[in-house]
A and B are shown apart, each in its own frame.
Chain A
């Protein structure tokens, strides 16, 4: 067919053609060059899917370079989306559908497409030059190497250009809309509602209505192409998921975390002060919070990581809720100031959106290897509470909880998110803001000396929480000096006295150890599993999905997720000791397992992966099965051979 045959009409009535095939769940991966707009395409498909009512989970995966050389393997950017008619917990292991916008995207991703999978290829980019650039000796579309897949070759750039012929746009500008053509095609295949995308495009290009119309035309052209081309005879239907009743929206981890910080200011009644320095993958929190000044949020882009936390701590000293956001390398730089905050015993929220390390590592990839840094990465005995969200939506509640602990116990708190949570998204049941529990900052206003004098003792502790009073400058009669030097218990003046230091070190540890956190809960449907899988942070999804698979095969496995990493829930030791085997999968080389073994003398086993990507449910399923049959699969076997492929 020619492009002229495409009916660029309103695609809101996609009921032509045979009845759609029902599917419970589908995984789609859009892959293209960094400049192809794959993240935007994936994001729009996600919004359409959320609006439709499926449960979903996403995994954006992009290079650290803003625009790596076009058409190369390092330049490939992808967005994977898993959606289903039931509640899902991971972005999916392998795609059912792979959209490859160029040969590099095909080469980098085809290994993940299972036989029989649907492959949609933008043939316009399969030129000899592009193929040679990435080492294809022959055109894979013609040499039979893709015969095991359902291949749909589509000249997306040509078709888009044809659809936009009458808009007067240049050839180059017209071709740039090919991602919307791909989105239109996929939207047709999976019966996604399109109104939201059209509205989004109109708003995004509000200043360039010609580009808005061009993108909408390309989107409709893709839709119409699917409808009228015999190549795509089948559409699929994934019914809405039966989620808990309520109001839902789609949300990413960084957005949820930002909202949690805004909410923390509201529930504590404190102005929020964010001191931050740009760093991937945490910068979006700075961007988001800078939009919410009306809520009394001040954002300060500092000259470096140290200044970011210093300013936040200064704001806390003045009675604000000080917050700093960063990733692992930034935590390293902030360590000394975190130690000062431990000594000053002032509220401070420190967000670490973990990425691959060490050093600069993998800026845009995920890892959870900062746990021990958060736990111990300071000089001296400097304990602090650690909280880790388990999903993008959970970043909201975890941030509110971290702020509650910081204010109640006068302590810095580290919130450990990670790259997968930060950029991943899921439907989020929007909390009722009126039900968020308020937190009283309980500022000191009166002298508190035990002898009834008019003195103020800044380190006289609350008997219950061991928190010290928070007396902010401007309060008459409570003038006091605090600092990093050791302080006399109670009175707070400088003290080098041996017994006092011993007591203060223990008091600080006791305060953190005594923070009340909810008991851990075990998910053990049969009630008699022998293997307990313990996870923390973003491994929640793959662990639950892996356990479901194993249970679906008739096996028994229990799971436990830790949101509070310091202090641990009070019942944790007892739970660990009640299972014959404890397995801890982590995206590091065994950091939580080290803490659990040391703390509870339990022979917990470790399964680890540090590839910059989340665990796959299938992978954990195999690991769990191995533990169930006693073969204990070891880590690092997959992909251990040098491959020389850097995509």
Chain B
């Protein structure tokens, strides 16, 4: 571990000297066990057949009951885009807001309501293009929000223009000669914006997705989870290389405290590939070719390592790192904002509106 602290979600309980450090602390717990059905609304789901959103919705419906919090204290706020229809399909409180602005709405809600578990559902266009400013400031402030960024690297709802995560050269309706925009790496961007929790999962990898969501929920502060998914209509098969044979040589799963090994099983029962340092960067090597002590051990408390790992993932998906890049604690904006109000109230427990209105200099006009 570095000097930064990890959250209890990683099993490394650290005393931060702050009360209620879990992401769900303060949210009332459910009296009865709940099921995925309880979290399913009566609305007909209207995504295209084969859309990755279905898999994520199913995972989230199954995952939410495991949190053990009251359903009515769960809120999903979304922006605009295909994924932003998500709240309609969950039987929690929800708001389908406007393009890019969900983090702002969720921020106001989270600051005023510490008893809620607040989730933002957004896409690559919503979060990284029109809403880029709000996203980076939410991450910087570390408001207790969980942001699910559905990244299909295309604009689906507007019928197929390139997005800020589309590969350079991509031919779309608005780029017949190929996109000339350099794409964002969402994980690098989030880490650059001082995010305290950043994870990545593939929509079809339910196990990893659920694990990352669980850690995000338990994290106190802003958690960004990038979910890689296909748009079967406008960007079909874009992540196929991460689903087909040989995917094990591309996906680099992270486990805090473990050496970073991946690929088909080697003689020692671990992956044949390993991540090692190469100057200030990381690189992938044949595990057998290096001294085991040179293999990087993942430390989710290290901002620097997290960033270096994010740079292993390129737009061609040669090496796609998944799991929890960073999970470290920093005071949250909403806790601090409420603490200032509480402090002011403690110092002046019954403030007088009349005294405020009178101010210091009044004079009286006799009748």
Contact = CB atoms under 8 A, between A and B. Distances in A.
Pair from one complex:
yes
Interface of A: 47, 50-51, 53, 196, 242-251, 259, 262-263, 266, 271, 273, 275, 292-298, 300, 302-304, 306-320, 322, 336-337, 339-340, 344, 396, 430-434, 473-485, 493-494
B134 A248 contact: no
B347 A475 contact: no
Given A248-B363, A481-B88, A259 B107 contact: no
Given A302-B104, A482-B96, 19 more contacts: A245-B367, A246-B364, A250-B361, A259-B356, A262-B353, A263-B357, A271-B112, A292-B351, A295-B351, A298-B338, A310-B103, A314-B104, A314-B106, A430-B354, A430-B358, A432-B354, A433-B354, A493-B43, A494-B43
A169 B37 CA distance: 78
A266 B353 contact: yes
A293 B145 CA distance: 23
B353 A196 contact: no
B360 to A, nearest CB: 8
Contacts of B364: 245-248
B357 A340 contact: no
B98 A430 contact: no
Nearest to B140: A303
B280 interface: no
A337 B98 contact: yes
Which 4 pairs across A and B sit closest by C-beta, in order of nearness? A310-B104, A483-B96, A314-B108, A311-B108
Interface stretch (B7-15, B66-74, B216-224, B318-326): B66-74
B293 interface: no
B97 A483 contact: yes
Interface of B: 28, 41, 43, 70-75, 77, 80, 87-88, 90-98, 101, 103-113, 115-116, 133-134, 137, 337-338, 340-341, 343-345, 347-348, 351-354, 356-359, 361-367
Nearest to B113: A318
A631 to B, nearest CB: 42
A125 B68 CA distance: 75
Contact of A295 (B109, B110, B353): B353
Contacts of B351: 292, 294-295
B284 to A, nearest CB: 37
Contacts of B345: 293-294, 296
A340 B98 contact: yes
A475 B365 CA distance: 50
Contacts of B90: 481
Contacts of B93: 473, 479-481
17 contacts: A47-B361, A245-B366, A247-B365, A292-B351, A295-B353, A306-B101, A310-B134, A315-B108, A316-B108, A317-B105, A318-B116, A430-B357, A433-B352, A473-B72, A481-B88, A483-B96, A483-B97
Contacts of A473: 72-75, 93, 109, 113, 116
Contacts of B134: 303, 306-307, 310
Nearest to B78: A483
B96 A53 contact: no
Given A292-B356, A315-B112, A479-B71, A307 B107 contact: yes
B105 to A, nearest CB: 4
A245 B363 contact: no
Contact of A481 (B94, B137, B348): B94
Nearest to A483: B96
A318 B345 CA distance: 21
A481 B41 contact: yes
B108 A53 contact: no
Contacts of A322: 108
Among A196, A295, A308, A483, find the residue whose CB has the most chain B CB atoms closer than 10 A.
Answer: A483
Among B75, B88, B106, B109, find the residue whose CB has the most chain A CB atoms closer than 10 A.
Answer: B109
Contacts of A316: 108
A242 B111 CA distance: 48
A300 B134 CA distance: 14
Among B77, B94, B340, find the residue whose CB has the most chain A CB atoms closer than 10 A.
Answer: B94
B97 A484 contact: yes
Nearest to B110: A314
B133 A474 contact: no
B362 A433 contact: no
A455 to B, nearest CB: 9
Contacts of A247: 358, 362-365
Among B75, B340, B365, find the residue whose CB has the most chain A CB atoms closer than 10 A.
Answer: B365
B201 to A, nearest CB: 25
A580 B88 CA distance: 57
Among A271, A292, A293, A434, find the residue whose CB has the most chain B CB atoms closer than 10 A.
Answer: A293
Contacts of B75: 473
Contact of B105 (A246, A250, A313): A313
Contacts of B110: 314
Contact of A306 (B80, B104, B106): B104
Contact of B108 (A318, A477, A482, A483): A318
A307 to B, nearest CB: 4
Nearest to B77: A314
A482 B347 CA distance: 39
B83 to A, nearest CB: 14
Given A266-B353, A494-B88, A248 B365 contact: yes
A396 B358 CA distance: 13
A588 B291 CA distance: 77
A263 B361 CA distance: 20
Contacts of A298: 111-112, 337-338, 341
Nearest to B347: A294
B104 A478 contact: no
Contacts of A249: 357-359, 361-363
Contact of B341 (A296, A302, A484): A296
Nearest to B73: A474
B337 A245 contact: no
Contacts of A309: 104
A314 B116 CA distance: 12
Nearest to B42: A493
A484 B104 contact: no
A92 to B, nearest CB: 22
Among B91, B108, B109, B110, find the residue whose CB has the most chain A CB atoms closer than 10 A.
Answer: B108
A51 B362 CA distance: 7
A434 to B, nearest CB: 7
Given A298-B337, A318-B109, A340-B97, A311 B348 contact: no
A309 to B, nearest CB: 8
Among A271, A302, A318, find the residue whose CB has the most chain B CB atoms closer than 10 A.
Answer: A318
Among A242, A246, A314, A479, find the residue whose CB has the most chain B CB atoms closer than 10 A.
Answer: A314
Contacts of B115: 474
Contacts of B28: 474
A524 to B, nearest CB: 28
B305 to A, nearest CB: 28
Given A307-B104, A310-B108, A315-B112, A244 B354 contact: no
Contacts of B88: 481, 483, 494
Nearest to A307: B104
Contact of B95 (A51, A263, A482): A482
A303 B361 contact: no
A50 B361 CA distance: 9
A336 B112 contact: no
Nearest to A324: B108
A474 B113 contact: yes
Contacts of A53: 363, 365
A262 B355 CA distance: 12
A300 B337 contact: yes
Given A296-B345, A479-B93, A484-B97, A431 B357 contact: yes
A550 to B, nearest CB: 28
A405 B297 CA distance: 59
Contacts of A295: 351, 353, 356
B97 A311 contact: no
Nearest to B136: A303
Nearest to A475: B72
A311 B104 contact: yes
A485 to B, nearest CB: 6
